[in-house]
Every structure is written in C-alpha cells, then in structure tokens.
Amino acid sequence: MPTYDFICNHCNQRFDVFLTFDEYGKKPVACAHCNSKDVRRRMTKVRIAKSDDSRMDSMADDFSGFEGMENDPQAMGRMMRKMGKEMGEDLPPEFDEVVDRLESGQSPEEIEKAVPDLGAGGESSDE
C-alpha cells in the first residue's frame, strides 16, 4: 500500500497516510496531529535505482566531449559534479571542495597549490 505525505494547513505538521490506489482522492484525509481536514498533499522526491552498467553508459554519453575540458575549469567542475551524482555514492568533502573551486573558475594547478594535501596517497609530485 503506498504512503502519501501530507501537510496540515491548520497546524503545519507533516504526516503520512497509507492509502490504496483506489482510496486516494476518494477517502477523506485528516491531520494525524490535530484532526483537521484542511490538509494538502506534499510531493516527495523519487529515486530511481540504476544498474552500474546503466550508470556507466549514461556517463559515457554525457562525457563524450571531454576533450578540451582541461582549458575550461568550469566545464570540468560541472562534469565532475554530474559524474559524482551519477555514481550515487557518498563522496568525501574534498571532492565537493575541488568541484566548487573548479566551478568558480580556479584551474587545477591553482587548486593543487591552495590545497596541497589533496590526493596525497604517498605519491611524490616532484617529477
């Protein structure tokens, strides 16, 4: 049975109601907190699960024009933010910091200088 989210216009509280598809729109809904019938439906976000293959295909289509992005930090930042969302995983805060800096127009070299510990995994950058 689907859950529908509502907000009471009287007490401003949110509440859920379990209704069948047949009941929705026909059965009156009252606030679970104050019993008021002055309520409105709250639209919630919908997540769609994608397989890893589907996610990778989507990224390949979106980022086929990667060439030349090294000279456009803002485009690189937008691409990285979209890629991070497509991955559907929690990324470290450093990822957001780098993407924010790229989107503001900072070059990768400037970011490396400003955040020297970024990507430090025992590798030496003195080549």
pLDDT tens digits along 14-30: 999 998 888 988 999 99
Domain 3-42, architecture per CATH: Single Sheet (2.20)
How many of the other CB atoms lie within 10 Å of CB of 19?
Answer: 16
Which value, in Å, is the radius of gyration of the alpha carbons in the chain? Answer: 23
pLDDT recorded at residue 111: 84
pLDDT recorded at residue 119: 59
pLDDT recorded at residue 16: 92
pLDDT recorded at residue 123: 45
Distance CA 99, CA 82 (A): 10
Stretches in the chain below the pLDDT threshold 50 = 122-127
Centroid of chain to Cα 18: 27
0.85 exceeded by the pTM?
Answer: no
Burial 91-121 (b: 16+ CB within 10 A, else e): eeeeeeebbebbbeebeeeebeeeeeeeeee
Distance CA 29, CA 39 (A): 7
- Burial, 12: exposed, middle or buried (Cβ in 10 Å; 0-12, 13-18, 19+)? exposed
Domain ranges of the chain: 3-42, 52-114
pLDDT recorded at residue 36: 96
